Amino acid sequence: MPSQIPAIVQDRVSPRAQEYLKKIEHFVETECIPADEVFEAQISKDPVLRWKSYPPVIDDLKKKARSQGLWNLFLSKTHYSEGAGFTNLEYGLMAEILGRSQTASEAMNCSAPDTGNMEVLAKYGNAAQKKQWLEPLLDGKIRSAFLMTERFAASSDAKNINMRMREDGSDLILNGTKWWSSGACDPRCAVYIVMCKSENNKSTEEFKQQSVVLVPANTPGVTVVRALSVFGYDDAPHGHAEVRFENVRVPKSNLVLGEGRGFEIIQGRLGPGRIHHCMRSIGAAERGLEYLIARVNDPARKTFGKSISEHGTIRTWIAESRIAIDSCRLVVLNAADKIDRGDAKSALKEIAMAKIMVPRTVCDVLDKAIQAHGAGGVCQDFPLARLYTGIRTLRIADGPDEVHLAQMGRNENSRAGQLISKLKQQEARREELFRVYKIEGRSHL
Ligand SMILES: Cc1cc2nc3c(=O)[nH]c(=O)nc-3n(C[C@H](O)[C@H](O)[C@H](O)COP(=O)(O)OP(=O)(O)OC[C@H]3O[C@@H](n4cnc5c(N)ncnc54)[C@H](O)[C@@H]3O)c2cc1C
């Protein structure tokens, strides 16, 4: 039984999933983690060439992983008959292991944003769209990007999305600027899943004015303007792109699900995807804690006469990190289990809780690991700085913390009327009991 399965969910993990977990753990520890630095070294230092090719180590890992059946593990059979067939809870445990390495997710064709995009195509695409885009994505031959956020719109409120889409005969014409389109710089990225606002949409319902369209990356009028950096990292050759659309023409048949169905699609896309991000983050935290423990026990590094691990503060950090990681894991698995027992909609509260709690907590664990490494922690000699910056972005990507907190706070607060009346009833009963037992005054309370 792989070590990270909490006892409370053990009976929810099938023997087949347990077998896969063992294989994945072995592959990640022995193949992917050692390949992470090779991946970095194979990215060209030339500012132009670094965007033009992909590190060959990835293709080798993909071949090896696929030959062992470690491929497309994220896709459930509910939406695609050829899916791996794991539950969200089972895949969550797998995603945690993948999150320990920079290369593991792609090696097993389980990396964002492709996983979410493949789910969109599997769930909402028609037969032709599946044939053209889903099949090569599942085969790991191409990659994809999801374009919702806009440079000139506060995009945490997706109703603000402004990219124009108008009909012209049997075609659609798109105009606007997207940014933070992760993966759009990748030379293998062949298709964009784009959220637009329909010019001719007369719906008065504000959640029915957006549509999702498939745009081949090489369509005339599409320009990848630049790559945005994340705390100074350009994440080449994947990249986070600003993409300009100038009179981009695609056939109407590229609409997914139909006009005005955009919100339905993005909601379906983000639910389980958030769980995957959270579980990968927990893998990153475990890795950070491993580095922390190893570093503070390095016999060559003593301060004030003792090993760094013998200082009380450091032991506290180790304990606090273990508590934080194990708590996060339970919160995420609870959300995954709720999705499995119903659907993403019925698990909105649990998903939001995980989405808020995990990146914050993992940032704190990684911060401790960085601190324990002294100056080494912030440089390229350890993976900690990169892990930290990646996880920090998750407090913004897929909706900032504050939006999820506002929504959760509103829902929780809606119990106010019910709670006030319950407290009043208890108060009345208490007064009654005071009278029965002839208790005077309230100083004992
Ligand atoms: C590394 C990275 C990768 C990304 N990848 C993608 C991608 O592939 N595709 C894509 O479409 N987008 C992507 N994004 C964009 C991301 O989803 C958006 O940045 C996010 O939705 C927030 O939108 P915004 O940046 O426009 O912030 P704004 O909407 O301008 O919000 C700014 C801030 O306002 C505050 N705020 C907003 N609403 C509330 C509220 N209700 N209550 C209190 N405070 C509030 C929050 O603090 C928020 O951070 C990525 C972002 C990052 C950092």
Q: Do 15 and 63 share a structural domain?
A: yes
Domain assignment of residue 421, yes or no: no
Write the CATH number for 87: 1.10.540.10
Q: Which residue's CA lies nearest to atom 30 of ligand 1? A: 154
Angle between helix 262-296 and helix 384-393 axes, rounded to 10 deg: 150
How far apart are the C-alpha atoms of 146 and 308, rounded to whole Å? 45
How far apart are the C-alpha atoms of 442 and 435, rounded to whole Å? 12
Q: Do 83 and 11 share a structural domain?
A: yes
Domain assignment of residue 422, yes or no: no
**Contact residues for 255 (Cβ-Cβ < 8 A; gap 6+):** 172, 211, 212, 213
Q: Which residue's CA lies nearest to atom 49 of ligand 1? A: 400
Gap between the terminal Cα atoms of the chain? 51
What tokens does 282 get? 């927990």
For CA atoms 67, 68, 69, 72, give the dihedral sign.
negative
Q: Is the CB of 211 under 6 A from ligand 1?
A: no
* pLDDT score for 255: 97
Write the CATH number for 251: 2.40.110.10
Q: Which residue's CA lies nearest to atom 44 of ligand 1? A: 402
Q: Which of 80, 110, 141 is the last residue of a domain?
A: 141
Q: Do 112 and 58 share a structural domain?
A: yes
Q: Is the CB of 378 under 6 A from ligand 1?
A: no
Q: Which of 23, 235, 197 is nearest to 111 (CA)?
A: 235
Q: Is the CB of 180 under 6 A from ligand 1?
A: yes
For CA atoms 127, 128, 133, 138, give the dihedral sign.
positive
* H or E segment and range at residue 251: strand 240-251
Distance 193 CA to ligand 1 centre (A): 18
Q: Do 157 and 293 share a structural domain?
A: no
* pLDDT score for 440: 81
Q: Do 91 and 72 share a structural domain?
A: yes
Domain assignment of residue 1, yes or no: no
What tokens does 45 get? 């230092």
Q: Is the CB of 300 under 6 A from ligand 1?
A: no
Q: Is the CB of 405 under 6 A from ligand 1?
A: no
Q: How many residues does the chain have?
A: 445
Q: Which of 141, 168, 192 is the last residue of a domain?
A: 141
Alpha-carbon 396 to chain mean position: 11
Contact at 8 Å (CB) between 52 and 92?
no
Q: Is the CB of 144 under 6 A from ligand 1?
A: no
Q: Is the CB of 406 under 6 A from ligand 1?
A: yes
Q: Do 163 and 231 share a structural domain?
A: yes
Angle between helix 401-413 and helix 348-372 axes, rounded to 10 deg: 130
Q: Which of 148, 84, 150, 94 is nearest to 119 (CA)?
A: 84
Residue 147 CA, closest ligand 1 atom number: 11
Domain assignment of residue 311, yes or no: yes
* pLDDT score for 3: 64
Contact at 8 Å (CB) between 238 and 185?
yes
Domain assignment of residue 434, yes or no: no
Contact at 8 Å (CB) between 83 and 76?
yes
Q: Do 405 and 296 share a structural domain?
A: yes
Distance 395 CA to ligand 1 centre (A): 9
Mutate to test the pocket of ligand 1, among 160, 180, 231, 407 (most ligand atoms within 8 A of CB): 180
Q: Is the CB of 156 under 6 A from ligand 1?
A: yes
Q: Do 34 and 83 share a structural domain?
A: yes
Q: Provide φ and ψ at 189, rounded to 5°.
A: -75, 115
Q: Is the CB of 147 under 6 A from ligand 1?
A: yes
Angle between helix 262-296 and helix 348-372 axes, rounded to 10 deg: 30
Residue 443 DSSP one-character state: T
Domain assignment of residue 430, yes or no: no
Q: Which residue's CA lies nearest to atom 33 of ligand 1? A: 400
Q: What is the per-residue DSSP string for 176-242?
A: EEEEEEETTTSTTEEEEEEEEEETT---SSGGGSEEEEEEETT-TTEEEEEEEPBTTB--TTT-EEE
For residue 93, what are the domain limits? 7-141
Please list the pLDDT of the chain residue by residue as tens digits (445 residues): 456 799 999 999 999 999 999 999 999 999 999 999 999 999 999 999 999 999 999 999 999 999 999 999 998 877 777 778 999 999 999 999 999 999 999 999 999 999 999 999 999 999 999 999 999 999 999 999 999 999 999 999 999 999 999 999 999 999 999 999 999 999 999 999 999 998 877 778 888 899 999 999 999 999 999 999 999 999 999 999 999 999 999 999 999 999 999 999 988 877 788 889 999 999 999 999 999 999 999 999 999 999 999 999 999 999 999 999 999 999 999 999 999 999 888 999 999 999 999 999 999 999 999 999 999 999 999 999 999 999 999 999 989 999 999 999 999 999 999 999 999 999 999 999 999 999 987 655 5
Q: Considering its fold, how many domains does the chain have in total?
A: 3
Mutate to test the pocket of ligand 1, among 182, 194, 396, 411 (most ligand atoms within 8 A of CB): 396
CA distances from 65 to 27, 68, 380 (A): 8, 5, 27
Write the CATH number for 278: 1.20.140.10
Q: 278: phi > 0 → left, psi -120 to 50 → alpha, else beta; which? A: alpha
Contact at 8 Å (CB) between 295 and 301?
yes
Q: Do 44 and 150 share a structural domain?
A: no
Distance 8 CA to ligand 1 centre (A): 35
Distance 399 CA to ligand 1 centre (A): 5
Domain assignment of residue 353, yes or no: yes
Q: Which residue's CA lies nearest to atom 35 of ligand 1? A: 402
Q: Do 401 and 312 share a structural domain?
A: yes
Q: Do 199 and 98 share a structural domain?
A: no
Distance 397 CA to ligand 1 centre (A): 6
Domain assignment of residue 403, yes or no: yes
Q: Do 245 and 276 share a structural domain?
A: no
What tokens does 384 get? 């900690």
Distance 326 CA to ligand 1 centre (A): 28
Contact at 8 Å (CB) between 370 and 388?
yes
Distance 155 CA to ligand 1 centre (A): 6
Q: Is the CB of 113 under 6 A from ligand 1?
A: yes
What tokens does 222 get? 């599409």
